[in-house]
Amino acid sequence: MTLKKFHGILPAFYACYDDQGNISEARTKDLCNYLFDKGVQGVYVGGSSGECIYQNLEERKAVLSYVADQLKGKMTLIAHVGAPSTRDSIELAKHAATLGYDALSAIPPIYFKLPESAVYKYWTDIMEATPLDFIIYNIPQTTGYTLTPAMFQKLLANKKVIGVKNSSMPTMDIERFKKVGGDNVIVFNGPDEQFVSGRIMGADAGIGGTYAVMPELFLQANEFVKSGKFDVARQIQSDINEIIIALCSLQGSMYAAIKEVLNRRGVNVGSVRAPLEGITSEDIAPIEDIMKLIDQAIERYCE
């Protein structure tokens, strides 16, 4: 089995809306084309950054279809199918399988605090519904469930489990999951703010919510890590973190800020869906500053 196709920089795909806030096929495809032109290795569709939690099943299925139409055969496609019920997750998983996605992934069950046996069964039931490979999603800060190395080991007994997208903050978790899984398993760095350290601690690749707004910088950071240029890798990470902190410090949500920046970079994907907050007039000046930070960092590191 080759995991090579999962290596590299895989942006988390954003929800693309029209001006009325409906899913837009045309804008979804524009974002696909932009990411293809940037040379990223794959996309993670319908996760947190895809605002999956605010979309109904039909909308989520449509997004999976539009992205596959545009990018199938051009890059690696991962479908996030986590949903409130196992039944809905299975429906999304079967849909992704018919579209030729390369792998599935899901957060653990949300809202009710369920015993670990229920979490295990949730992931296993999704896996049994299709022949696709599966990537566990560990994101304790939003789900309240913490994946342990022991649970990861138990899940790995199922050959469909090829890895974990780890979004917990300790990079030691990455090292532990890699230790349990070894070379046959892929570990993705989750927190974009520590991409470089995550890679050094053993992450093979990255999936991230801010990659698409500055793919050039993450692709370059990954190259610096691969070639052992750790000093400059640390510098680019520091510049990336200035940008992420600025994106998170506006009245509008981080995703609203990201979409405004993307618009200025030539891709209009609309705004965010409530209860996420859109940007305000006071956010415009800081967004101009963020544009400058991105342009300067690209000029500094990517020529």
Ligand X SMILES: CC(=O)N[C@H](C=O)[C@@H](O)[C@H](O)[C@H](O)CO
Known binding-site positions: 207
Residue with Cβ nearer ligand CC(=O)C(=O)O (207 or 250): 207
193 binds ligand X (CB under 6 A): yes
Sequence-distant (6+) residues with CB within 8 A of 215 are 9, 11, 35, 38, 39, 40
Question: Which of ligand X, ligand CC(=O)C(=O)O, none binds 108 (CB below 5-8 Å, type-dependent)?
Answer: none
Binding at 191: pick from ligand CC(=O)C(=O)O, ligand X, none (beta carbon under 5-8 Å per type): ligand X
Q: Does 48 bind ligand X (CB under 6 A)?
A: yes
Minimum separation from the CB atom of position 144 to ligand X (A): 13
Residue nearest to ligand X (CB): 209
| Cβ distance to ligand CC(=O)C(=O)O smaller for residue 155 or 254 | 254
Catalytic residue flag (residue 165)? yes
Q: Which residues of the shown chain bind ligand CC(=O)C(=O)O in the complex (CB under 6 A)? A: 12, 44, 47-50, 207-209
Q: Which of 160, 165, 178, 259 is catalytic?
A: 165
User: Do the bridges between strand 161-166 and strand 133-138 make them parallel or antiparallel, or are there none, so unpaired?
Assistant: parallel
Piece of the chain touching ligand X by CB under 6 A; list 75-83, 146-154, 185-193, 218-226 = 185-193
Distance of alpha carbon 133 from alpha carbon 179, whole angstroms: 20
Residue 120 falls in the annotated catalytic set = no
Torsion from C-alpha of 274, 275, 281, 286, nearest 10 degrees: -110
Closest distance to ligand CC(=O)C(=O)O from the beta carbon of 137 (Å): 7
Are the C-beta atoms of residues 118 and 126 closer than 8 Å to each other?
A: no
The verdict on 208 binding ligand X (CB under 6 A) reads: yes
Q: Which does 193 bind (CB under 5 to 8 A by kind): ligand CC(=O)C(=O)O, ligand X, none?
A: ligand X
Least distance to ligand CC(=O)C(=O)O, CB of residue 228, Å: 27
Do 189 and 205 contact (CB within 8 A), yes or no? Answer: yes
Q: Report residue 52: phi and psi, to 5°.
A: -55, -30
Catalytic residue IDs: 137, 165
